[in-house]
Amino acid sequence: MNTESSMKQLAFAPLMAALLLAGCATALPPLPQAAPVPAQFKEGARWTVAGPAEAQDRGEWWKAFRDPQLDRLVEQAGERSTALQEAAARLAQARALVRSARADRLPQVGVGASAVRQAGANTPQGATPGTLLQAGASLSWELDLFGRLSRAQQASVLDAQSREALLQSTRLLVQAEAAQLYLSLRALDAERALVRETVAAYDGTLRLTQRRHQAGDVAELDVVRVQAELAGTEADALALDRQRAQLEHALAVLVGESASAFSLEPAPWTSALPVIPAGVPGTVLARRPDVAAAQSALLAAQARVGVAQAAWFPDVALTADGGFASPELGDLFKWSARAWSIGALLSLPLFDGGRREAAVQSAQAQLDAQLAQYRGQLLEAFREVEDQLAALRLLDEQAKAQGRAVGSALRASAISETRYRNGLVSQLELLDARRSELRNRRQALQVRSAQYQATVGLIRAIGGGWEATAPAGQEGAERRFATAR
């Protein structure tokens, strides 16, 4: 009896030693602060409240532009974009790794059978060849005493969260790019219409000048000057056609269609320009999916440091086998042929040439790299928001100044046209007025286009999730935004 008790104590000695060593395991130190977060952005005076919403839907913010064609293209890009399909596949892969890491913590059960023909001093038949048939089941379970498997699972979960946030970030990026390409294309349509209007005006001036030259009122030099202006403006129109074709092809790729089969007919630029609130808080960047992805990657790197540190502690596994073994197939499943075993395995490398230490240093270096990347992501996020806020403020002032310039240029061009037809001014003065009018009107269109681009850029910079609202009884008035909660 004493002998049996002593054997049981020896059998469980490795398990008791492992439990004793488990008390030596230490928790990971907390992460230092990644970067100082200002309470607000400097571009703005009033602030709205927006809680973290990195896991929430980004919202149908593009509908604030009130353009059905834009709505259709953005939704199509969200469904067919190859970049989104790739990001979704990466997320599915990360989730599969989570299930794999979770399975490592569960008992492993298997069944097997074998037939071995053997001979030798260690066999029952000695030198005479014999056959041993076996069939049974096995069970093994690694005891996660030091948190190696749990930290590995935690790291895989955080990786999946990072991939999910990157999918949201990719979706927001694709939607913003589709909106910006479409709005740029419509701005080019308006500019092309303006240039062609100028071409028609120059063509009328050329015919008038040719008649006056035939009547002997002006010299041939005046005719050549108008012809040069007409040809130069036609060249500008063709350059705009080339830019439009390139934008159309880029939009085709974004919505998942062939550039050869995709076309978007020219149309008037009727998109509304939303009005962004006076400001947003610095904490709104918690809603940015790329910032959330960087944070999850940082925490995953920290968990992997714990996995590497846990390699210094022993691995403990419980095993059990049960089944039948017999030299005769007919006797294999008889009760007398039963066999079973249970055990506890402890493994602790004493010398590995510095392999475990190198693994810890590698994991720590990866953690440092992820921390630097997270800090950089935060700083870049603040820069992008400040850029767009400053752009919107300055573009608003520029649009007002450019509007005054356009009004004056139109007035000057009309007066010069009348005076030239009455022979009171030279052709050079008329052409100068026309050039000034065209330049200012094109600049006004470009400023307006930049306002649309900056608006989309700001929505993207703060993580999307905006919903358009209009004051009651003011349908068609300027739009304002409210953060999604």
Residue 429 clears pLDDT 70, i.e. is over it: yes
Are 171 and 86 within 8 A, CB to CB?
Answer: no
At residue 122, the pLDDT reads 59
Are 74 and 62 within 8 A, CB to CB?
Answer: yes
Residues 71-108: tens digit of each pLDDT:
999 999 988 888 888 888 988 888 888 888 888 778 88
pLDDT category at 217 given cuts 50, 70, 90 is confident
Percent of the chain with pLDDT over 90: 19
Backbone dihedral angles phi then psi of residue 207, each to the nearest 5 degrees: -65, -40
Q: Residue 190 corresponds to which amino acid?
A: A
Residues 114-168: tens digit of each pLDDT:
777 776 555 666 566 767 777 778 888 777 777 788 888 888 888 888 888 888 8
- How much is the average pLDDT of 195-206? 86
Highest mean pLDDT among 1-10, 282-291, 452-461: 452-461
At residue 344, the pLDDT reads 77
Torsion over CA of 302, 305, 306 and 309, rounded to 10 degrees?
-160
- How much is the average pLDDT of 239-253? 93
Report the range of poorest mean pLDDT among 364-373, 429-438, 446-455, 474-483.
474-483
Backbone dihedral angles phi then psi of residue 45, each to the nearest 5 degrees: -120, -35
Rounded to the nearest angstrom, the gap between the alpha carbon of residue 165 and the centroid of all alpha carbons in its chain is 7
Q: What does the buried/exposed string (b/e) look like for 127-141 if buried means 16 or more CB atoms within 10 Å of the residue's CB?
A: eeeeebbbbbeeeee
Residue 70 clears pLDDT 50, i.e. is over it: yes
Q: Residue 318 corresponds to which amino acid?
A: L
At residue 331, the pLDDT reads 63
What is the average pLDDT value for the chain, to the nearest integer?
78
Torsion over CA of 231, 232, 235 and 239, rounded to 10 degrees?
-170
Interior angle at CA 25, CA 23 and CA 28, nearest 5:
140
Name the nearest CA neighbour of 115 among 101, 129, 128, 98. 129
> β-strand 466-469 against 480-483: which pairing, if any?
antiparallel
* d(C-alpha 432, C-alpha 412), whole Å: 10
pLDDT category at 451 given cuts 50, 70, 90 is very high
pLDDT category at 245 given cuts 50, 70, 90 is very high
Largest distance between two CA atoms of the chain: 136
Residues 363-397: tens digit of each pLDDT:
889 888 888 988 888 888 888 888 988 898 899 99
Residue 339 clears pLDDT 90, i.e. is over it: no
pLDDT category at 43 given cuts 50, 70, 90 is low
Residue 441 clears pLDDT 70, i.e. is over it: yes
Give 143's contacts (C-beta < 8 A, 6+ positions apart). Answer: 15, 18, 316, 317, 318
Residue 405 clears pLDDT 90, i.e. is over it: yes
- How much is the average pLDDT of 400-410? 93
- How much is the average pLDDT of 313-322? 79
* d(C-alpha 252, C-alpha 177), whole Å: 12
Exposure on the CB side of residue 106, measured as CA atoms within 13 A:
8
Q: Which two tokens stand for residue 160?
A: 């999946």
Residue 26 clears pLDDT 90, i.e. is over it: no
* d(C-alpha 402, C-alpha 441), whole Å: 8
At residue 125, the pLDDT reads 60
DSSP helix/strand/coil, 43: coil
Residue 57 clears pLDDT 60, i.e. is over it: no
pLDDT category at 308 given cuts 50, 70, 90 is confident
> Domains in the chain, please, with CATH?
36-105+145-313+354-483 (1.20.1600.10)
- How much is the average pLDDT of 192-218? 85
480 pairs with which residues across the strands? Answer: 275, 469
CA dihedral for 353, 357, 361, 363, sign (positive or negative):
positive
Residue 21 clears pLDDT 80, i.e. is over it: no
Full-prediction pTM beyond 0.95?
Answer: no
Give percent helix, percent strand, percent coil of the chain, each to the nearest 5.
60, 10, 25
Name the nearest CA neighbour of 295 among 177, 181, 159. 159
